Every structure is written in C-alpha cells, then in structure tokens.
Amino acid sequence: MSLAAGLSRFLPIVSFDEQLAVLRVSGDEDRTTSGRRRRPISAALAATRDVIVDLSDLHFADPSLMIDLACLAQRLRAHGRRLLLRHPQPHVRRLIEMVGLHRLPSVLVIAPQPAPA
C-alpha cells in the first residue's frame, strides 16, 4: 500500500463547519464508511440555520448516504431549516433523483448552470 493510499484512510470523508453550517462530503461514500459520517451529521443537527451539503468533491456514493441525508433533512425540517445540496457531480445528481431525495420538502439541489451552447 502506498503512503497516499494509507493516509487517505484517515482523511475525513465528511466534515462539518459549524460557523458556516457546511457539511462537506468528499471521496467515496458508501455503507462501509457510514460510521465516519455519523459525528459530522449529528453536529449538523445543531445548526441554527439551513445546512449546506457541499458535494462537489464527492466521487462516489451509494444509497446509504442518501438515506442519511434524507434523515438529516427531515430532522432539520422539524426545526424550520432546509438541507441545500450544493454542486453534486452528474452521477451523484442522478442518484439523488433516483432515490427521490430532491423531492423532500426541505431539500433543495443547487447545481451549477450549464454553459450556453
């Protein structure tokens, strides 16, 4: 195993910035990494404003992440806040749509606009 591969196991995949209310999700997220996202997601529940989920560096996700985000969205909605999904890559956006996360009342997907032709 290379040094970079070894270190990547310890880099945070999910982190929460309390001051900005930004939950950053990066790398590869699936059921095997779900335990590493529990603490940042729990911290996001205490946010006093809408929570932004920065998905711009997320390369792979499975439905387990979408389920966790749906649960977070529902709990935030109970406190009058929303979950803003920012800059998902196209394949992640398809997963969001496939599982219906974007249809929850407290979820808004913020994607960059395509360049004009």
**Structure tokens, 23:** 């939950």
3-state secondary structure at position 105: coil
pLDDT in tens, 23-34: 999 999 988 888
Reported pTM: 0.86
pLDDT value of position 1 = 46
Distance CA 46, CA 56 (A): 23
Chain centroid, CA 54 distance in Å: 6
pLDDT in tens, 86-114: 999 999 999 999 999 999 999 999 987 66
pLDDT in tens, 59-73: 999 999 999 999 999
